[in-house]
Amino acid sequence: MHGVKSATLALVIAACLGGAHAQTKLRSTTAFITAAASDVTAELAVGGHLATMKTQLASSRVTARSTYDTNVKSLFAATSGTVRAAFNTEYGETFGADFVIGMLDAAEAYTVSDEAKNELFEKTAMDMVVMHLVLDKINGVETVPEWDDAAAYYVGAATGASGFTTYDRANKRAADFGTTVSSGDAAINEAIINALNNPTATNQELKIIELFQVLYLQNVLKYAYEIDTELAEADVTELSEVVGEGLAFWRVLKPWLKARDTAGAATLDGIFDIANIPVSGKPTIQGARHWNYCRAKPIVDAHMATLTSAGATLGTYAPVTADGTMCPTVIPTGLAEATGAYTVGGVTYTFANDVGASLQFSEAIADIKSMLTNGDSMANVAAAYTNLGLRGLADLPRIADADGYTLFNAEHGSVTWISDLMDLALASPNTWVPKLSARNEIIEKTLMDALAVQCIHDDLAHAATTAHSAADKRLFFDHAAAKFLGTSTARGSTVFARGNKRGLNYGTAPDSINSAASLAILSALKTGAAVTGNLPADDIARAAQIAIVTRQIKIIYSQATLRYAKLVNDDLAENNPFAEHQAEGMAFFNVIRPWVKSSSVSDATVAVLDQIFDVQTSPESYDNFAYCVTKKAIDEFVGTAYVSLLGVLEDVTADGTTCAATLPSGTSIVTDTDTYSGAADLGASLSFSSAVMKTLDQLDEPPFTQVLASFKSTGISGAGDEARVGEPVYDLFKAYFGANWMTTYITAAADNEKTPTSSSAARVEIIEKTIRDAVATQLILSDLYRGTLGLTDAHDKHWDHGAAKYLGTDGDRSVTVYNRAEKRAENFGTLTDNTAGDPEADANYAVIAALKAGKTATTAAQRVAQYNVVKRQIQLVYSQCVLRYANYLDAAFLDRTDYAEHQAEGQAFWRVIAPFVKQVNANGATFLTGVFDLSREVSEHTHYCRAKTILSDLGLAFGEDTEGGSLTGIRNDNCDGVEVPEDATEYLAKAPSSGAAPKFGVALASVVAAAALALAL
């Protein structure tokens, strides 16, 4: 099954010319002919019986056992000698005087797979038995007949017969280890047969004994390697088989090796522990970074060095060379490291078992991290993920733990959810998360944190299993501690290190190095491991410590999740790249998400956190929504009894972040016009209106320090400045105004030196309308445009985002575009009664209908059409705004009243649609820009008429019975003969300019001049 089968060797008989019996030439390539005095018929038959048993095992162990009991059992029972005595000492107490029978009975009783039982049966009957039959014959004698008998047992069949003996096993291992000699025989076979041919030569018995040990050293090494291989592939069936095979081979070697290396033997006992492969298919085999092979190799090599009479070499297992497996010079075990290696923060964990397999977990994680840091290819990282055994640890079935494996699989929707994530991140090219640095974060945190926590939790679930012995429970505590703490060289790649980092971030590291959570976990592991009894009270004591470990792990990853929600929040607010922080946050949240979901935290809230960390979408967050909603969820998850363990995030202290008592939420937005329903919670996008309200509440007098701070801290500025290159509206406006035009405009208005007007009221209007209208319309159109690019759930979300920004929350709707449309509809008479009989803006009816139709559209073309409806309605609403404020300027000219505030408002509104107008009427756009130029005086009373003509080029009509309606209170409604100047630039050059002077009326001379100019036009 494993390794290369040797070719069937030819069977040759040479007739003996004299003597009592025919001489027999055995089938070996290395010549062996029995003496005439030797009758080896019975001995040769053993190989045939063994071959029969091997065949029978495929269908019935009962039949195979009958064959053994009938034909071989008595032969083994009759063996004796120094080797048999040593084996009796080692195995007699456990398996009885006939320890082979005891081993076969035990194999049948083990709760392991049939495949494992078959392997144990086969290798025990065919290897343990044949070796003892051979050594029994040569024990203390040098006579030819006995040595011929031994050769017949060892080599097996003669002409016309078939069989399977140790000779065949040696040839298979020689093929594996490159120790086949020129004759075609294994070097071990050649040496043993030559020794059997010369019984009187010095130390031949010792030589053969040592050669048997070399053979089973090869077997042990091969199967230690195969355990790593099958573990890496998470192949439970093959893993069960190779452990069974390996155990049977290890038993053939153990008494000799144990006599000189008790610790090494104990380690190999652990590697081949049959309890690690229960029939449930949920193995508890430990190992990473080829630990089983690498740990066995020095043990094997050390024993091999003592076999000086064997005259043989071990060779190198071929897959080791092929795979390029490299073993570290020193492999920590947890038992023999320097004093203090497992002491941190005054807490020392003392291991009672060789836990090198779990210590290597941290080294494997460190290897992956190093590859990522050094820019290795994703293909190489993917190969390492498998070859280092991490994929196997992630994918192996684990104990059914309602608070662990079972829960996490259910919530993540897959038993291989960790590898599923890894495969997504490792794909190249990558459309899931295109940014390499973000994928690196997912890879690192998924392994160092999610996988580590799952493995630790599984160890502790076993430690809490009452069926285990006290020694096994201690073993599992040791493994959990080893994975948690790691080696001294790779401790930075452990959950312990993660806890320390978060402790420093949250002020919960008392010694400024080690976090309270990490030390609490280590102390709990230490205390739990120290429980030595196996009574119910002892299990309760262990469970109490396991509960502490779980609680503190939840604290660490609650801190991590909250920190990255804050970082994503701040990235968005500052218009910085967020992909890395979002990816890290997702990976950290994955560690605790199933626990959070199963707590009192609502599913809707968990879904909101999912949105924040959804690496395939751009998250939404205004006014610290991402941080605040996560904080509320985490506090509820941790519970009031333990919330103080979280500490306070340093970034929150530094920037004074506060959270509102109530955050926007819900999947539906109900307005007086209609209701919009989203696919998920809309709180993040609704937080935009809350941020606008909060910011405008700070709008007071120059220098507008508070409103500017809020404009930035709430994320409105960052959202407005986001580079949305490739989106037609963004590209159009950027070409017109330049990059970051909204923030630039607001900061200039707030700056006493840069402001275009000295009127405080005018500056307030610029700031307010830009925040409330310009930023909002840009974000709404951006969201909806993104929603037109496909029909997936991700595209649907963009419609939800745009709708939420347009409509806002009930409490903040007064600062939304929806509200602006209502105000203008009242001014222009474009209202229709709702079902309650209350008048609502026609524009809002049209927009909400388009939002709903676009969201449910089944083609991209349909979505584009609905997007254009919304865009046109926005153009309509802000054209109404422009007309209204153009009319105010007409009134100011006619009434000789102050107009600075209205001109500033008009300018802010005009900027919402100016680039659209320029697309269809560049001269008209120039004219209206001049009309609302704060450095120009009002010099005519035809602003409304000319603006109406210009705006009609957008395909909009204004007046009675038109879509745009008719403005109430038009001061100069006689537009007959009023035309837009053919050259607006030339025309505006002749109009008077007031610089940045306050506009508290118009000087008489200016009025006369302007009036004359107006009459001439």
pLDDT digits (tens, 9 = 90+) for 280-301: 888 999 999 999 999 999 999 9
Average pLDDT, the chain: 92
- DSSP string across 372-410: HHTT--HHHHHHHHHHTTHHHHHHS-----TTTHHHHHH
- Rounded CA-CA distance 911/696 in Å is 19
332 preceded by a cis bond (ω within 30 of 0): no
Tokens 């993040």 belong to residue:
684
Tokens 């040696």 belong to residue:
170
Half-sphere exposure of 812 (CA within 13 A, CB side): 27
* More confident of the two residues 15 and 956: 956
Of 181, 198, 217, the closest CA to residue 30 belongs to 181
DSSP state of 33: B
The answer to whether 3 touches 175, Cβ cutoff 8 Å, is yes
Residue 70, Cβ density class (10 Å: 0-12 exposed, 13-18 middle, ≥19 buried): exposed
- Rounded CA-CA distance 1000/1005 in Å is 15
Of 15, 255, 274, the closest CA to residue 119 belongs to 274
Q: Dig out the tokens for 600 from the structure.
A: 């009192």
* More confident of the two residues 488 and 15: 488
The answer to whether 327 touches 360, Cβ cutoff 8 Å, is no
Other residues' Cβ atoms within 10 Å of the Cβ of residue 282? 16
The answer to whether 365 touches 490, Cβ cutoff 8 Å, is yes
Residue 315's φ and ψ, nearest 5 degrees, are 80, 180
- Rounded CA-CA distance 23/38 in Å is 8
Residue 1013: pLDDT over 50: no
Q: Dig out the tokens for 442 from the structure.
A: 């997912």
The answer to whether 424 touches 441, Cβ cutoff 8 Å, is no
Give Cα 237 distance to the centre of its chain: 27
Q: Enter the pTM of the model.
A: 0.89
What is the average per-residue pLDDT within 94-108?
A: 97
Contacts of 223 (CB under 8 A, 6+ apart): 2, 242, 243, 245, 246, 249, 250, 272
Residue 968: pLDDT over 90: yes
The answer to whether 312 touches 480, Cβ cutoff 8 Å, is no
Give me the pLDDT at residue 16, please. 29
- Rounded CA-CA distance 34/44 in Å is 12
- Rounded CA-CA distance 750/942 in Å is 31
The answer to whether 332 touches 341, Cβ cutoff 8 Å, is yes
The answer to whether 461 touches 404, Cβ cutoff 8 Å, is yes
Give me the pLDDT at residue 20, please. 47
Residue 724's φ and ψ, nearest 5 degrees, are -110, 50
What is the average per-residue pLDDT within 303-327?
A: 96
Of 752, 724, 755, 751, the closest CA to residue 740 belongs to 724
End-to-end CA distance of the chain: 101
The answer to whether 817 touches 806, Cβ cutoff 8 Å, is yes
Residue 465: pLDDT over 70: yes
Q: Dig out the tokens for 282 from the structure.
A: 């949920």
- Rounded CA-CA distance 922/865 in Å is 25
The answer to whether 906 touches 891, Cβ cutoff 8 Å, is no
Q: Dig out the tokens for 856 from the structure.
A: 């449910």
**SS3 category, 655:** helix
Return the exposure string of 142-154: e unless at least 16 CB atoms fall within 10 Å of the residue's CB, then b.
Answer: eebbbbbbbbbbb
Cross-strand partners of 710: none
Tokens 């091997």 belong to residue:
54
Of 331, 209, 226, 320, the closest CA to residue 271 belongs to 226
Output Rg (C-alpha) for the chain, integer angstroms.
42
Per-residue pLDDT band at 33 (split at 50, 70, 90): confident
- Rounded CA-CA distance 113/110 in Å is 9
Give me the pLDDT at residue 336, please. 82
What is the average per-residue pLDDT within 549-558?
A: 98
**SS3 category, 820:** helix
Contacts of 608 (CB under 8 A, 6+ apart): 629, 633, 665, 680, 681, 683, 684
Residue 327: pLDDT over 50: yes
- Sign, CA dihedral 212-218-220-223, equals negative
Per-residue pLDDT band at 164 (split at 50, 70, 90): confident
What is the average per-residue pLDDT within 913-930?
A: 98
Per-residue pLDDT band at 996 (split at 50, 70, 90): very low
The answer to whether 173 touches 222, Cβ cutoff 8 Å, is yes
Taking only the tens place, the pLDDT of each residue in 977-989 is 999 999 999 999 9
Give me the pLDDT at residue 994, please. 63
Residue 466: pLDDT over 70: yes
Half-sphere exposure of 555 (CA within 13 A, CB side): 32
Contacts of 125 (CB under 8 A, 6+ apart): 50, 53, 64, 68, 72, 100, 104
- Rounded CA-CA distance 166/129 in Å is 10
Of 854, 848, 768, 747, the closest CA to residue 815 belongs to 768
Write the single-letter amino acid at 967. Answer: L
Residue 304's φ and ψ, nearest 5 degrees, are -60, -35
Tokens 């460190």 belong to residue:
366
- Rounded CA-CA distance 831/825 in Å is 6
Q: Considering the chain, what percentage of its residues have pLDDT values greater than 90? A: 89
Per-residue pLDDT band at 160 (split at 50, 70, 90): very low
C-alpha distances (whole Å) from 966 to each of 116, 646, 821, 884 are 88, 60, 14, 10
Taking only the tens place, the pLDDT of each residue in 491-518 is 999 999 999 999 999 999 999 999 999 9
Of 187, 127, 180, the closest CA to residue 154 belongs to 127
Residue 14: pLDDT over 60: no
What is the average per-residue pLDDT within 591-611?
A: 96
Taking only the tens place, the pLDDT of each residue in 842-853 is 999 999 999 999
Least confident of 161-175, 264-278, 282-296, 548-562: 161-175
Contacts of 725 (CB under 8 A, 6+ apart): 731
What is the average per-residue pLDDT within 255-275?
A: 96
Write the single-letter amino acid at 375. Answer: G
Pairing state of beta strands 668-670 and 675-677?
A: antiparallel
Residue 500's φ and ψ, nearest 5 degrees, are -65, -40
Say what the alpha-carbon torsion angle 605, 607, 613, 616 is, to the nearest 10 degrees.
-160
What is the average per-residue pLDDT within 914-940?
A: 96
Least confident of 569-573, 959-963, 998-1002: 998-1002
Tokens 């402790």 belong to residue:
503
Contacts of 990 (CB under 8 A, 6+ apart): 1013
- Rounded CA-CA distance 548/221 in Å is 40
The answer to whether 814 touches 689, Cβ cutoff 8 Å, is no
Give Cα 918 distance to the centre of its chain: 48
Give me the pLDDT at residue 37, please. 77
* More confident of the two residues 992 and 1009: 992
- Rounded CA-CA distance 80/784 in Å is 88
Strand residue runs (E) in 681-760: none
- Rounded CA-CA distance 960/511 in Å is 77
- Rounded CA-CA distance 82/163 in Å is 28
Residue 754: pLDDT over 80: yes
Residue 488's φ and ψ, nearest 5 degrees, are -65, -30
Other residues' Cβ atoms within 10 Å of the Cβ of residue 311? 14
